[in-house]
Copies of this chain bind each other. A is one copy, B any other.
Amino acid sequence: MTTINDIAKRANVSRTTVSRALNNSGYVSEEARKRIMKIVEETGYMPNQSAKSLRTKRSGVIGVILPRLSTETSTRVVNGINEVLAKEGFQILLTDTELDKKKEIEYIRLLKSRHVDGIILLATNVNDELIQTIRDVDLPFLAIGQDLPEVTSLVYDDYHASADLTNMLIHKGHHKIAFIGVSRDDPSVGIMREQAFRDVMEREGGVIKDHWMGTGDFSIDSGYEEMKKILRASGKNRPRAVYAVTDRMAIGAMEYLKEQGYRIPEDMAVVGIGASSLSQYVSPSLTTIDYFNKKAGQQAAELLLAKLKNEKVEEKFELTYRLILRDSV
């Protein structure tokens, strides 16, 4: 492997000068610069980033922590992050917690030791140890999806999105709405979306029944199972709509309903959140909410870059959303 010393020798200058030429720092005579660049070209020399990083304390790498690598939401966000970061010459070091909270903390530390310049976390929960760890590593940090105290956070407007969706259902004439949520460990999805649902239902005179409330785990299967449970527990008095807090669960619910011969939306309306590509092509197409995940990723990357440049950045950002009315309602 060619090093800066090899280049220096061949160009008859010190490695100091090579470094300056390469980084456009300080004065280098045009002559020397040309000689150096020519040799760099010829040899295909690339500076050793570990050495550089050891010296400068910057690595050109941003750590990204995902709850799951294989969901469309994650992919879109990472896509947005990467688009912005790649343009600035940054690379992404990717980690996947597989929804294990311990790993979130572990990876934050690990990324620090790998000298990443900053971290973006797609957050799924909020807890003290997490906050503490983020404070400890003292790196430019950005959270997406949850409001982490004292951490720059980009949050989806879960409350209003959920409220809008519920309202829409009610104004379409549905007062009996089943709800498939997720664990309350996830404040954004598990608490905010449910709270908005309850608030609107109460305000608008909707009917909430305990056995119409299910709790899934984000998977299509869990949507299917919860729908089954809800219908079985309902007897004659059935809901006329079901609101699942994610598209995948909504699609699972639809599967069960179709199997049981329900017509959607005539017998039962279905809505989800996420605007997955699945939601568009499933039949009937699913009414859902688009959170513009890619844009969230882009914005997160831009904010992180601003932080790297020591620009002042606000602590909280609320993202926009859009209701997509389709055939399932």
Contacts and interface: CB of A to CB of B under 8 A. Distances in A.
Which of the four size classes fits the interface of chain A? 35 or more
Interface stretch (A111-119, A165-173, A230-238): A111-119
A223 to B, nearest CB: 12
A49 B91 contact: no
A195 interface: no
A69 interface: yes
Interface stretch (A25-33, A71-79, A155-163, A179-187): A71-79
A279 to B, nearest CB: 9
A113 B48 contact: yes
A154 interface: no
Given A79-B69, A82-B94, A115 B277 contact: no
Nearest to A45: B113
B91 A93 contact: yes
A127 interface: no
Contacts of A48: 54, 113, 115
A61 B113 CA distance: 13
A95 interface: yes
Interface string A49-77: 11101100001010000000110000110
A277 B53 CA distance: 41
A46 B48 CA distance: 22
Contacts of A313: none
B75 A115 contact: no
A283 B327 CA distance: 14
A323 interface: no
A125 to B, nearest CB: 20
A109 B54 contact: no
Contacts of A178: none
A171 B48 CA distance: 58
Given A79-B70, A278-B277, A93 B96 contact: no
Contacts of A78: 69, 94
A160 to B, nearest CB: 27
11 contacts: A49-B113, A50-B59, A50-B115, A69-B78, A79-B96, A91-B94, A91-B110, A277-B278, A278-B281, A281-B282, A282-B282
Given A69-B75, A82-B96, 20 more contacts: A47-B113, A48-B54, A48-B113, A49-B50, A49-B113, A49-B114, A49-B115, A50-B54, A50-B115, A54-B54, A61-B114, A69-B82, A78-B94, A79-B96, A86-B95, A92-B94, A255-B281, A278-B281, A281-B282, A281-B283
